[in-house]
Amino acid sequence: MMDFITIMKNDLMLVAIIFLLLFIKLGKGIKNDTLLSIIQLLLLINFVAGFFMNDDYTAFDNMYQTSPVIAFQKSILSLGVYLISLLFSGWLRKSENLTEFFILMLSALLGMFLLLSSSNFLMFYLSLELATIPVAAMANFDLQKKISSEAAMKMILSSAFSSGILLFGISILYGITGTISFAALPALLNGSPIQIMVLVFLFSAFAFKLSIVPFHLWTADVYEGSPFATTSFLSVISKGAIAFVLVSTLYKVFQPMHGVWYTIITVLAIITMIIGNLFALRQQNIKRFLAFSSIAQVGFILVGISSNDSVKGLSSVMYFVLIYVFSNLAAFGVAETIAIYSGKENIGDYNGLYQNNKFLSWVLALALFSLAGIPPTAGFFGKLFLITAGAAKANFAFITIAALNMIVSLYYYLRVVRSVFMDKGETVVEKIPIQPAVKFGLIICGAGIIVTGLWSWVYDYVVGLL
Amino acid sequence: MNLLLLLAAPLLTAIAVLLLRNKQQIRWAAFIGSTIQLALAFNLYATYKSARAAGQTTNFIFEKQYNWFPDWNISLHFGVDGIAIAMILLTAFVVIAGVLVSWNVEKMTKEFYFLLILLSFGAYGFFISLDLFVLFFFLEIAVIPKYLLIGIWGSGKKEYSANKLAVMLMGGSALVLVGLLGTYFGSGTKSFDLLQLSSVHIPAHVQSICFPLLFVGFGVFTALFPFHTWVPDGHSSAPTAGSMFLAGISMKLGGYGCLRVAAYIMPDGAKEYANIIIVLSSIAILYGAFATMMQKDLKYINAYSSISHCGFVLLGIGMLTKVSMTGAVMQMVSHGLMTALFFAVIGMVYERTHTRQVDEMGGLLKVMPFISTVLFIVGLCSLGLPGLSGFVAEMTIFVGSWENVDNFHRIATVAACLSIVVTAVYILRAVGKTAMGPMKESYAGLTDARWNERLAAIILIVGILAIGLAPFWMNDLLR
């Protein structure tokens, strides 16, 4: 029994927090500021607790499994959610529905935790739904804005569609193999045409969530319409979780068919990087810009996944997602701080930002350089390890395309840096006040961007788990 | 000597610059920091000489290896040989001169010096790295400072130039990256270590794919034709110290990388592609020289002539003889010092006359004797006057090239020699027009160089003379 509690501590703690919030909502209510601090503290505890007492374990008749690797993946997600609660506290504390927002976000996070731990396609499907539906509600949280409702609508429709495809794939899989357990499946897979069809169906569901081209069409609109906190949750936490699950599904369950999915992944990675990069070139809105850039980043993750190396491939993906949490959240945090003060979210509005807002500008620049993969930021190492892992397959045309895409991405990231540091706006951007919690969050992100890369201990730790 | 000191000095200087508030203090901190770097570089040279005299015969000495990402077989492996020391000396000279000539940068002084020092940090790290991954890391570290230096403190169409430079150099890095990965997996060692890679024989088919990738990738940095187009824009838009660093240090990163690849890792690949390198570098030499003749702007003149001069570096490497490669290194050092000095002088002139157009100037010798004299010296060095460094370096390359007896190499050598005549034409015309002739009346009240500018110029001239008058020590170092 004690095993059960220590091993499932992260999942259970989330449940506890969700219920706590429900009761608070039912009662007289607490002031937003206090409540937010409590939540931040609880999330921090949840994050820290994730590092202790992890072991290989299965429960519920092999429906639930965990291991140090899975626990670390959960910790990355917890860290991301903790950072979100810090970075967007300016918006959150003004929100009338703070409790609901956190209930939804933590439910989605719980869904992702269970998703990571699932070892059966039934559990997998249920937790994937739990991870998706609350996010659609979160997308609608700017209640006064029509565009926000539009985003929620698009999100729910497209994810319902992808769930349908997923379920279809799972049911065919059950029909031909008679099992949906991850452990039993590999022995039954042989790459027959119908199994390839199953793989394609399952993969397209993943591709929807990860917004891999050509399943990316919902991304930019949903990102633009949703409030910043939801957008960043979608683009960082949700993507990270799905990427982890994709790796484990492909490497473990579909290992016998790796020849098939290797082809799928290389082709999609190339298209994803190219389309994501080309569309990012012309975006004016920072959210849409980051949406397309995150599509391109997913293309890079696919390069790492294509290695089919359960040590190098998985470790580089985990390492990259960790870095991506820091870099992308920092960029969103800065954009949110500016948007909440001036209501502006176009890149052109950042002209001359550096003059009065040195801290924000440097954090933004660090984040963008990290996304572009320029040293000394961690993004350099993250991208390089992904590419190196992918290069082990000796498919050099593929690697060259990936490397060339780094040039294109540098160009558009520099566009933002340029407007912050070089361009002169018609009006000087005033000094934007930064709340202490936000500043703390940005400092963590900035430090993370530097330290995660240069200090190789972090990477060694990730590898040590495998 | 512990090579980490070379990294610690700029790093500490950068931190000091960040912590200080007063502009004057920042300048002095940067100056003191760069003096320490120069002292360290000299110390390195002295200890190297004594270590060699004591009978150290390994290729690289002062080797140190620290674990860094052991899972990928990456380690912070440092070590130097004569070539690296020559480049480190060059870097130290250019850095101190760059810091001095930027003394009166008033706009965002702290950031300016911070980026400048970060750039030098990248250069030192690059020259002492023996692990190709670490080398690549330091190569790319300089991208941010270069971009921001040009974009913020530059002039003219600076945003365009900064973008062009960053994207083109990133393109070079991408090629280097693919080449490195090919070497990593293709060599069978799964290692980025230079010594390890040079000790195994990399299969021929890997060399014939990876050598061009690496060479062209590094070549972009050193203005390999036809990837030279970032040079004129980047150099002419950058602030004075930025141009000095770009032409003096940054372009040398590429040359150094090409040399390491051609001489150490993939000698077979180098043989296979030598003729193409020679053709491209000869084109660069001649094209650069003729293009310079058409320029009216002093900075463009120096930028295009840099393409021509860096062509000599690649020519020396492509000729594949020991002497020509020695000449290539000499040319890198010589060109680094000379072009840094040239840009420094151009900056001084521009600050006073507010123009860089040759046609609009005249008679500067009367009002600014010091600056004009330096301009003469640097011009003469550029056209290869004996006694100055340019002559020694180019002469060595030609001698080395002539060791190849077939017609192809001979023709290329002769073609490259011809460019010297063209160089003489444009240099003499530019220098003559600006410094001599009737003085413009509006220039009457202009002042000569200040102490910091004088010091910067003198430091660089000392370097040029040290190679030009006594090339033996340099030759010894590179042997």
CB A360 within 8 A of CB A334: yes
* Predicted local distance difference test score (pLDDT) of residue A175: 92
For A321, A365, A366, the CA distances from B144, given in Å and listed in that order, are 23, 10, 10
Among the partner-chain residues B137, B170, B184, the one whose CB lies closest to the CB of A410 is: B170
The residue assigned the tokens 């912590």 is B19
Q: B172: distance to nearest CA of chain A, Å?
A: 9
CB atoms A422 and B71 under 8 Å: no
Among the partner-chain residues B72, B163, B177, the one whose CB lies closest to the CB of A414 is: B163
- B residues 122-151 near A, CB within 8 Å? 133, 137-138, 140-141, 143-144, 147-148, 151
Among the partner-chain residues A369, A407, A421, the one whose CB lies closest to the CB of B167 is: A407
Question: Which residues on adjacent β-strands are paired with residue B193?
Answer: B131
- Does position A27 have pLDDT exceeding 90, yes or no? no
Among the partner-chain residues B162, B166, B181, the one whose CB lies closest to the CB of A387 is: B181
Q: 3-class DSSP state for residue B234?
A: helix
Question: Which residues on adjacent β-strands are paired with residue B66?
Answer: B76
Query: B188: phi > 0 → left, psi -120 to 50 → alpha, else beta; which?
Result: left
Instruction: Quote the CA–CA distance of A162 and B307 in Å, as a whole number.
Output: 56
Chain A residues whose C-beta is within 8 A of a chain B C-beta are 312, 315, 369, 374-376, 380-381, 384-385, 387-388, 391-392, 394, 396, 399-400, 403-404, 406-407, 410-411, 414, 417-418, 421-423, 456, 459-460, 463
Nearest-Cα residue of chain B relative to residue A420: B152
Instruction: Quote the CA–CA distance of B42 and A397 in Å, as a whole number.
Output: 46
CB atoms B148 and A315 under 8 Å: no
pLDDT band at A1 (very low <50, low <70, confident <90, very high): low
CB B143 within 8 A of CB B32: no
* Predicted local distance difference test score (pLDDT) of residue A14: 92
Q: Which tokens hold the place of B351?
A: 């600050």
* Predicted local distance difference test score (pLDDT) of residue B352: 83
Residues for chain A: how many in total? 466
Residue B44: domain span: 4-478
Domain ranges of chain A: 2-465
CB B98 within 8 A of CB B113: no
pLDDT tens readout for residues A402-435 = 988 988 999 899 888 888 888 777 777 788 888 8
CB A160 within 8 A of CB A148: no
pLDDT band at A349 (very low <50, low <70, confident <90, very high): confident
- Does position A445 have pLDDT exceeding 90, yes or no? yes
Number of domains in chain B: 1
> SS in 3 state form for chain A?
CHHHHHHCHHHHHHHHHHHHHHHHHHCCCCCHHHHHHHHHHHHHHHHHHCCCCCCCEEECCCCEEECHHHHHHHHHHHHHHHHHHHHCHHHHHHCCCHHHHHHHHHHHHHHHHHHHHECEHHHHHHHHHHHHHHHHHHHCCCCCCHHHHHHHHHHHHHHHHHHHHHHHHHHHHHHHHCCCECCCHHHHCCCCHHHHHHHHHHHHHHHHHHCCCCCCCCHHHHHHHCCHHHHHHHHHHHHHHHHHHHHHHHHHHCHHHHHHHHHHHHHHHHHHHHHHHHHHHCCCEHHHHHHHHHHHHHHHHHHHHCCCCCCHHHHHHHHHHHHHHHHHHHHHHHHHHHHHHHCCCEHHHHCCHHHCCHHHHHHHHHHHHHHHCCCCCHHHHHHHHHHHHHHCCCCHHHHHHHHHHHHHHHHHHHHHHHHHHCCCCCCCCCCCCCCHHHHHHHHHHHHHHHHHHHCCHHHHHHHHHC
CB atoms B184 and A388 under 8 Å: yes
Nearest-Cα residue of chain B relative to residue A315: B71
CB of B163 within 8 Å of a chain A CB? The answer is yes
Q: Where are the alpha helices (DSSP H) in B154-266?
A: 158-186, 194-199, 204-221, 230-237, 240-245, 251-260
Among the listed residues B389, B361, B197, B231, the one whose alpha carbon sits nearest the alpha carbon of residue B305: B231
What is the mean pLDDT, run by run of 10 residues, along chain B of 479 residues? 86 89 87 91 89 81 85 88 89 90 84 89 91 90 87 85 89 90 85 84 86 90 87 87 88 89 84 89 90 87 88 88 88 90 88 82 81 87 83 87 85 87 87 81 78 87 86 79
Among the partner-chain residues A387, A421, A423, the one whose CB lies closest to the CB of B148 is: A421
Name the pTM for this structure: 0.93
CB B437 within 8 A of CB B70: no
Residues of B in Cβ contact (< 8 Å) with A404: 171, 174
CB atoms B69 and A459 under 8 Å: yes
CB atoms B163 and A422 under 8 Å: no
Burial of residue B444 (CB within 10 Å: 0-12, 13-18, 19+) is: exposed
Instruction: Quote the CA–CA distance of A378 and B12 in Å, as a whole number.
Output: 21
* Predicted local distance difference test score (pLDDT) of residue A41: 92
User: Which residues, at least 6 apart from A434, have a Cβ–Cβ distance to it below 8 Å?
Assistant: A337, A359, A360, A442
Residues of A in Cβ contact (< 8 Å) with B210: none
Residues of A in Cβ contact (< 8 Å) with B178: 396, 399-400, 403
Q: A-B interface: how many C-beta pairs under 8 angstroms? A: 85
Instruction: Quote the CA–CA distance of A71 and A457 in Å, as a whole number.
Output: 18
Best interface-test mutation with B: which of A315, A362, A368, A418 has the largest number of B CBs within 10 A?
A: A418
**Sign of the CA dihedral B333, B335, B337, B343?**
negative
pLDDT tens readout for residues A304-331 = 999 888 888 899 999 999 999 999 999 9
For B231, B273, B312, the CA distances from B324, given in Å and listed in that order, are 25, 16, 10
Q: Which amino acid is at B234?
A: G
Nearest-Cα residue of chain B relative to residue A365: B144
Q: Which tokens hold the place of A101?
A: 């927002």
Q: A276: distance to nearest CA of chain B, Å?
A: 18
The residue assigned the tokens 């892992």 is A389
